[in-house]
């Protein structure tokens, strides 16, 4: 059955099967463990290649069924609902957090040091005792966003 599926594809390229039933996988394992292992390796290889491409070359592929587009350069970010949003946001903000902490706008709350900012999804909340301290933090954020070419909407 696997040969039939692969044979029907354009250019006889390997197929990325994402909707295999558990029973089909079990029966395939009984018939041919090697083929099942190869399918698993194909899946893992495709995921690894996709993540590597996104993080190193910022290129993407659009897939629909058995078809895949040619790679294209990603020129904009990702929205919150996508799984890469959090990791990409963390990559961008780590240096900014260090810069904010270097502004020395430390405040105390209940005898403990409080953070100068909080991050939630793509929101940044600044915390300070004085407007001047808050403006220092906002300046760091604006400069960082300008350097990294990240849009910001401060309120």
Tell me the angle at which helices 22-31 and 33-52 cross, rounded to the nearest 10 degrees. Answer: 120
pTM above 0.85, yes or no: no
Residues of the chain with pLDDT under 50: 1-22
pLDDT digits (tens, 9 = 90+) for 47-90: 666 666 666 656 667 777 788 888 776 655 555 555 566 666 66
Same domain, 27 and 55: yes
Tell me which of 11, 41, 73 is where a domain ends: 73
For residues 126 and 25, what is the distance between their CA atoms, to the nearest angstrom?
51
Q: Does residue 27 sit within a domain?
A: yes
Give 69's DSSP letter: P
Same domain, 90 and 69: no
Tell me which of 73, 105, 123 is where a domain ends: 73
Count of structural domains, the chain: 2
């Amino acid at each position: 059955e696997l040969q039939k599926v692969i044979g029907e594809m354009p250019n006889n390229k390997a197929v990325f099967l994402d909707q295999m039933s558990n029973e089909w996988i079990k029966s395939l394992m009984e018939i041919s463990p090697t083929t099942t292992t190869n399918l698993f390796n194909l899946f893992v290889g495709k995921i690894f290649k996709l993540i590597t491409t996104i993080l190193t070359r910022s290129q993407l592929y659009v897939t629909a069924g058995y078809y895949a587009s040619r790679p294209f350069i990603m020129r904009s970010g990702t929205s919150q609902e996508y799984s890469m949003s959090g990791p990409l946001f963390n990559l961008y903000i780590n240096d900014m957090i260090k810069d904010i902490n270097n502004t020395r706008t430390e405040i105390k709350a209940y005898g403990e040091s409080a953070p100068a900012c909080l991050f939630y999804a793509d929101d940044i909340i600044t915390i300070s005792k004085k407007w001047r301290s808050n403006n220092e933090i906002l300046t760091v954020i604006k400069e960082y966003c300008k350097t990294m070419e990240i849009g910001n909407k401060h309120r």
